[in-house]
């Protein structure tokens, strides 16, 4: 059963105060922790909610876990996370609610989630920004890592949650299919931080910002860039691929590592954004449908036009041909990128329209009010 945001946000008096324990697997460096939990902490205080956020590991351990380091260091990181979650059982009774972003630990069955609910007598709100109930082979740890993930965990947590906050309607539909309550709250950014800045690039910069797991999507359109380079002078900026700059005929290519410090400025530095998504052996239709379309929201927040594969919920974000272009195939990618390269006025108008759309539909202050209503409404079940 899906719930309406406006109704829930008005369901409790604003002067009631609750204390919430937020659990996340990963630290601030992980987008899900940063944008689904941490950025709301200050705003929730305005609604009488004290949110204490507890990631299982810190930023240093996060880098260790997913870098090419020794198994001893990785094992130490895992042991530290288990110890932290064990000690966290102490003092649970001071909280009114458990707010769980995906899972308490990045592996294993939901032992700590159950323990925290039982020892603290806490109702749980589960946040799912991704389709974590789908099985996949870990790109870092392979099949062994996938087995340790215990993919049935998400279903168990859905069944135990009082309500599940979903990043998109497709996830909400799955949650409802299990007989659980759901509500859709898209992932967004702070528009005061992700804001338009006029670029002074000597030539247009086409940019992609992602991760090593989504980089193959970009590789699928390298031939589009080669065709464009025959008639247009531009630069390709790649951020977060984990790879060295690829050699693409006729194009200047820069590859940068993703960092928390440069995240916003990287988005602001480009002139045209890229958001390609394609079905592949490692990205099924179901997996793509579970994605939140978050990159489209980030592009619009900084006022950048972009070209996107209209896959899953991404197809419902923005207004095609006004805030961005959709591209269904390679020829589409060429035509749409060419339109933006040869018409700067069109590019600027599209970026401005995207920013206005973002402010209207993804305002963080409004979403914080919705989230506060959900948390307060659920906390009543403890009484």
**C-alpha atoms less than 13 angstroms from C-alpha of 326 in its C-beta half-sphere:** 14
Overall average pLDDT of the 155-159 stretch: 96
On whether the 205-361 domain is CATH 3.40.50.2000, my answer is yes
CA proximity to 98, closest of 113, 84, 88: 113
Which strand (E) or helix (H) includes residue 179? Answer: none
Domain boundaries, the chain: 5-187+363-382, 205-361
**What is the CB neighbour count within 10 angstroms for residue 359?**
12
* pLDDT at 272 (0 to 100): 98
Are the C-beta atoms of 100 and 108 separated by less than 8 Å? no
pLDDT band for position 136 (cuts 50, 70, 90): low
**Per-position DSSP letters for 26-93, written without gaps between them:** S-TTSHHHHHHTGGGHHHHHTTTEEEEEEESS-HHHHHHHTSS--HHHHHHHHHHHHHHHHHTTTTGG
The structure tokens 């806490």 sit at: 122
Overall average pLDDT of the 358-369 stretch: 96
Which architecture does CATH list for 5-187+363-382? 3-Layer(aba) Sandwich (3.40)
Query: Please, what is the end-to-end C-alpha distance for the chain in angstroms?
Result: 23
- State yes or no: pLDDT of 359 exceeds 60: yes
Sheet holding 306-308, edge to edge: 252-256, 235-239, 205-209, 272-275, 306-308, 325-326
* pLDDT at 135 (0 to 100): 72
Choose the weakest-confidence range: 5-19, 157-171, 268-282.
Answer: 5-19
- pLDDT greater at residue 208 or residue 106: 208
Buried/exposed 269-284: b ≥16 CB within 10 Å, e otherwise: bbbbbbbbbeeeeebe
pTM of the model: 0.88
* Contacts for 258 with CB less than 8 Å, ≥ 6 apart: 209, 211, 239, 240, 266
Q: Can you tell me the distance from the alpha carbon of 208 to that of 357, in angstroms, rounded to the nearest whole number? A: 21
* pLDDT at 184 (0 to 100): 95
Overall average pLDDT of the 145-155 stretch: 72
Q: Do domains 5-187+363-382 and 205-361 have the same CATH topology?
A: yes
**What is the CB neighbour count within 10 angstroms for residue 357?**
20
pLDDT band for position 147 (cuts 50, 70, 90): low
* pLDDT at 187 (0 to 100): 95
* pLDDT at 143 (0 to 100): 53
* pLDDT at 12 (0 to 100): 46
Q: Can you tell me the distance from the alpha carbon of 245 to that of 239, in angstroms, rounded to the nearest whole number? A: 10
- The alpha carbon of residue 91 and the mean position of all alpha carbons in its chain are separated, in whole angstroms, by 30
- State yes or no: pLDDT of 142 exceeds 80: no
Q: Can you tell me the distance from the alpha carbon of 328 to that of 274, in angstroms, rounded to the nearest whole number? A: 13
pLDDT digits (tens, 9 = 90+) for 102-131: 999 988 899 999 999 999 999 999 999 988
The strand pairing partners of 163, in sequence order, are 125
Are the C-beta atoms of 312 and 293 separated by less than 8 Å? yes
- State yes or no: pLDDT of 68 exceeds 70: no
Are the C-beta atoms of 128 and 147 separated by less than 8 Å? no
- State yes or no: pLDDT of 317 exceeds 70: yes
Q: Can you tell me the distance from the alpha carbon of 109 to that of 85, in angstroms, rounded to the nearest whole number? A: 13
* pLDDT at 312 (0 to 100): 84
**C-alpha atoms less than 13 angstroms from C-alpha of 311 in its C-beta half-sphere:** 24
The pair phi, psi for residue 51, each rounded to 5°, is -105, 115
pLDDT digits (tens, 9 = 90+) for 242-253: 899 999 999 999
Q: Can you tell me the distance from the alpha carbon of 194 to that of 209, in angstroms, rounded to the nearest whole number? A: 14
The structure tokens 């309607």 sit at: 169
- State yes or no: pLDDT of 40 exceeds 60: yes
- pLDDT greater at residue 150 or residue 367: 367
Buried/exposed 126-146: b ≥16 CB within 10 Å, e otherwise: bbbbbbbbeebeeeebeeeee
């Amino acid at each position: 059963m899906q719930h309406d945001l406006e109704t829930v946000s008005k369901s409790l008096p604003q002067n009631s105060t609750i204390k919430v324990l937020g659990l996340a697997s990963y630290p601030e460096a992980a987008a899900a922790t940063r944008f689904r939990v941490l950025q709301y902490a200050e705003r929730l205080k305005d609604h009488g909610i004290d949110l204490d956020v507890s990631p299982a590991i810190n930023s240093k351990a996060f880098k260790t876990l997913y870098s090419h380091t020794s198994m001893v260091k990785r094992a130490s990181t895992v042991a530290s996370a288990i110890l932290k979650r064990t000690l966290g059982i102490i003092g649970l009774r001071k909280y009114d609610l458990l707010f769980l972003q995906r899972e308490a630990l990045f592996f294993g069955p939901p032992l700590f989630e159950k323990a925290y609910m039982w020892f603290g007598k806490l109702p749980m709100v589960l946040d799912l920004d991704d389709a974590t109930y789908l099985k996949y082979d870990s790109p870092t740890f392979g099949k062994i890592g996938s087995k340790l993930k215990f993919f049935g965990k998400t279903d168990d947590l859905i069944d135990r949650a009082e309500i599940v906050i979903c990043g998109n309607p497709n996830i909400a539909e799955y949650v409802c299919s299990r007989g659980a309550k759901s509500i859709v709250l898209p992932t967004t950014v702070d528009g005061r931080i992700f804001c338009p800045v006029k670029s002074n690039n000597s030539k247009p910069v086409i940019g992609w910002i992602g991760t090593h797991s989504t980089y193959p999507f970009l590789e699928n359109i390298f031939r589009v860039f080669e065709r464009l380079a025959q008639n247009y002078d531009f630069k390709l900026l790649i951020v977060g691929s984990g790879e060295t700059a690829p050699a693409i005929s006729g194009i200047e290519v820069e590859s940068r590592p993703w960092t928390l410090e440069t995240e916003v400025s990287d988005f602001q530095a480009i002139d045209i954004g890229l958001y390609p998504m394609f079905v592949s052996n490692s990205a099924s239709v179901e997996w793509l449908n579970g994605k939140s379309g978050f990159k489209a929201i980030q592009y619009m927040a900084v006022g950048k036009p972009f070209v996107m594969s209209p896959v899953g919920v991404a197809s419902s974000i923005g207004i095609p041909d006004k805030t961005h272009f959709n591209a269904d195939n390679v020829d589409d990618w060429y035509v749409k990128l060419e339109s933006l390269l040869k018409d700067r006025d069109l590019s600027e108008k599209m970026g401005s329209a995207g920013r206005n759309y973002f402010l209207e539909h993804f305002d963080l202050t409004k979403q914080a009010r919705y989230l506060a209503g959900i948390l307060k409404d659920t906390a009543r079940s403890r009484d």
